[in-house]
Amino acid sequence: MSSQHHLVWNGELTTRLRLIRRGMYLAAPGMLWILLFLALPSVLLIVVSMTTRGDYGQIEWVFSLDNFTRLMGYSSYGWSADYLWILFRSVWVAFWTTLVCVLLAYPLCFHIANRAPEKRYFWLTLIIIPFWTNLVIRAYAWLLVLAPQLPLAKFAAVLGIIPDGSPLYPSAFAVYLGMVATFLPFVAMPLYANVEKLDWALVEAAKDLYAGPARIFWHAIWPQTVPGLSVGITLTFIPAMGMFVVPDLLGGAKYMLVGNLIQQQFGTSRDWPFGAAVSLALMVLTLVGLHIHRTKGGEGGVA
Amino acid sequence: MSLEAYAIYKNYGEVEALHNVDLVTERGEFFTLLGPSGCGKTTLLRIIAGLELPDSGTVMLTGGNVTTLPANERNVNTVFQSYALFPHLTLFENVAFGMRSRRLTGSVVTEKVMAALAMVHMEDKKDRLPSQLSGGQKQRVALARALVNEPEVLLLDEPMSALDAKLRHAVQAELRQLQQKLGKTFILVTHDQEEALTVSDRIAVMRQGRVVQCAPARELYERPVNRYVADFLGKANIIAGRRAEGGVETELGLLRLDSPPTWEQGELAIRPENIVFHPERPAVNGLRARVSEAFYRGDRVEVWLEPGNLRMSAAPRRGIAKGDEIWIELLPSALVPLHE
């Protein structure tokens, strides 16, 4: 009965039913998008993560939580921390990568912002060019830079860090180097957007009120750069946790991260169910990370 | 003497921001740097604040040379044009900022901050953030934040330019009263001549990096040294003439004046309010003039006169109207010979 009831909406005579139908038409494309690219894959991932690997690498629809207990380190041989260690190491590497990127991005952004306006584009281009270059090519480039014949490796050999004639990879150092180089633009560019339009009157006010360099940074610069920094941290920390090209090429088997583990399961190991379980774990870690960032980031006055 | 600056030069590339500027303020004086934008007044203020280094010259604060001392080591505080309150800190913490920088803690800080906030009538809003304040309130807090540090000299960089006209008038009066009560040296930068006249003891009028005239407010208005100052502060009639026996010979006839010019040929200035109406021919400097336009402005009538295209300010009760023929007197005490 109520659907037959006429009503005026934005100057138009219509019925409730017609309005609802129109609303659904308008929302449909977005809903379809979310359904197709978010809801469906997520459900599939969860379902697959609870299936079992068949003898020839096929998925057998036998449901259990075995993949998750395996990820926790339990197997027929007893308990091992290997997978948990990989997960922890991924978070650890992502954390340090982000921190180093942030520490490098500040001086970099202020350096660029202090150039004459026409020269800033030159410096920004220098940041953006590697960003446009294929990640695999960049990782191989680092292999060349760290090769035994080149000064970096030779210098390390002189210091006795590595034996003479060997390269600087695969190593944790090489992974960090590659990671920081990869993600620096992601922190530097949003941060630069803030630094460029920084209100310098606040810096001068802090100086005028007897503040030293640390106090000037903390009260006049930091609060103004939190929005850009927040974007940069999100853009770095989350993908850094799942990164596999850089650790694969520069870290080898010595420095496996969760991204490599997932790649291995879907690739050489042909164990899709376990791969899905690891992927799910990474997704949970990502969401937890985002949640912490959201709640902690709120203190700086950023939504 | 609280602040002295001698022979200050400052260039930005090709632009000469300050050229041989001297400035001496007395203790407890309200001093104003007045001029159009780009005249160098803000640069001079920033040099005094320590936010900018002069190319050459000396800045002295209570007798000590502070030319190269950075802002955070100078006993001078600034109220910025944008107020520059820290958006993430409460009013209390904003005002306490200077003392916290100096590592003061405890009840001394609380007492001083509350006293400073009370001085600007903001004590009940101490826990608010700057974003919750109106422009006028922000300005008060900026004032309290600077004054709480008890600076030798308080610098004000166009602090009222962001306020609307009515509020600006009220704040000008308050600022003047506050300065008189505290007996501190204030140096204000402004382009608003009315504001400068209202609050200042002395004013330095600047143009293109130079001080054109530095004098007490009243002297500056009544005895401008040249056309620039005469025009910048209020309105002025400029009359060209040649020195003659007993006065100056002009197109309006021989004009007598109390202070004879030193030049042979030059210009005289007279303010519109110093051209006065007479019912019959006045004894000196009398002129029969025709009213070419009369604009009613409420508190006065602005009258345009021929010959000489003179501007006169008359009381509305006179009932002067367009087309009238009237007798006027150019007051001899108010005719000022100009230089340059």
* Neighbour count for residue A35 (Cβ, 10 Å): 12
State the nearest Cα–Cα gap between B131 and chain A, in angstroms: 12
Q: In whole angstroms, what is the distance from residue B291 CA to residue B306 CA?
A: 7
* Mean pLDDT for the stretch of residues A140-153: 88
Give how far the C-alpha of residue B310 lies from the chain's centroid of Cα atoms, to the nearest Å. Answer: 26
Question: Helices A82-113 and A172-196 meet at what angle, rounded to 10?
Answer: 40
Q: Does A201 touch chain B (CB under 8 A)?
A: yes
Q: In a 3-state reduction of DSSP, which class is residue B284? A: coil
* Mean pLDDT for the stretch of residues A199-222: 94
pLDDT at position A4 is 65
DSSP strands (E only) in chain A: 6-9, 12-15, 52-53, 59-60, 74-75, 78-79
Inter-chain residue contact B77 with A215, CB threshold 8 Å: no
Instruction: Read off the pLDDT band of A275 (50, 70, 90).
Output: very high
Q: Is the pLDDT of residue A1 over 60?
A: no
Give how far the C-alpha of residue B24 lies from the chain's centroid of Cα atoms, to the nearest Å. Answer: 16
Mind listing the pLDDT tens digit of every residue in chain B (340 residues)? 789 999 999 999 888 999 999 999 999 999 999 999 989 999 999 999 999 999 999 999 998 999 999 999 999 999 999 999 999 999 999 999 999 999 998 899 999 999 999 999 999 999 999 999 998 899 999 999 999 999 999 999 999 888 888 888 988 999 999 999 999 999 999 999 999 999 999 999 999 999 999 999 999 999 999 999 999 988 899 999 999 888 899 988 899 998 888 899 999 999 999 999 998 899 889 999 999 999 999 989 999 998 888 999 988 888 888 989 999 999 999 999 998 7
pLDDT at position A297 is 59
Q: In whole angstroms, what is the distance from residue B268 CA to residue B286 CA?
A: 16
Whole-number mean pLDDT of chain A? 88
Q: Is the pLDDT of residue A299 over 60?
A: no
* Neighbour count for residue A88 (Cβ, 10 Å): 13
Phi, psi of B331 (to 5 degrees): -55, 125
Inter-chain residue contact A204 with B71, CB threshold 8 Å: yes
DSSP state of B208: T
State the nearest Cα–Cα gap between B100 and chain A, in angstroms: 9
Q: Does A198 touch chain B (CB under 8 A)?
A: no
Work out the percent of chain A whose per-residue pLDDT is above 90: 47
pLDDT at position B147 is 94
State the nearest Cα–Cα gap between B132 and chain A, in angstroms: 14
Question: Helices A172-196 and A135-145 meet at what angle, rounded to 10?
Answer: 120
A47-59 confidence digits (pLDDT tens): 999 998 888 888 8
Instruction: Read off the pLDDT band of A303 (50, 70, 90).
Output: very low
Q: Does B77 touch chain A (CB under 8 A)?
A: yes
- Name the segment(s) of chain A with CATH classification 1.10.3720.10: 75-299
Q: Is the pLDDT of residue A42 over 50?
A: yes
Inter-chain residue contact A219 with B86, CB threshold 8 Å: yes
Q: Does B75 touch chain A (CB under 8 A)?
A: no
β-sheet bridge partners, residue B290: B306, B325
A151-198 confidence digits (pLDDT tens): 888 888 888 888 877 888 888 889 999 999 999 999 999 999 999 999
Lowest mean pLDDT among A32-36, A98-102, B169-173, B203-207: B169-173
Phi, psi of B291 (to 5 degrees): -80, 115
Q: Is the pLDDT of residue A15 over 70?
A: yes
Structure tokens at B204: 């330095």
pLDDT at position A301 is 40
Chain A residues near residue B80 by CB distance under 8 angstroms: 201, 204-205
pLDDT at position A109 is 95
**Which residue among A201, A210, A212 places its CB closest to the CB of B98?**
A210
State the nearest Cα–Cα gap between B87 and chain A, in angstroms: 8
Chain B residues near residue A207 by CB distance under 8 angstroms: 50-51, 70-72
Q: Which residue of B has its CA nearest to A220?
A: B86
The CATH H-level (homologous superfamily) assignment of domain A75-299 is MetI-like (1.10.3720.10)
Q: What is the pTM of this model?
A: 0.81
Substitution target from A208, A215, A222 for chain B, most B beta carbons within 10 A: A208
Q: Which of A:141-180 have CB within 8 Å of B?
A: none
Phi, psi of A109 (to 5 degrees): -65, -40
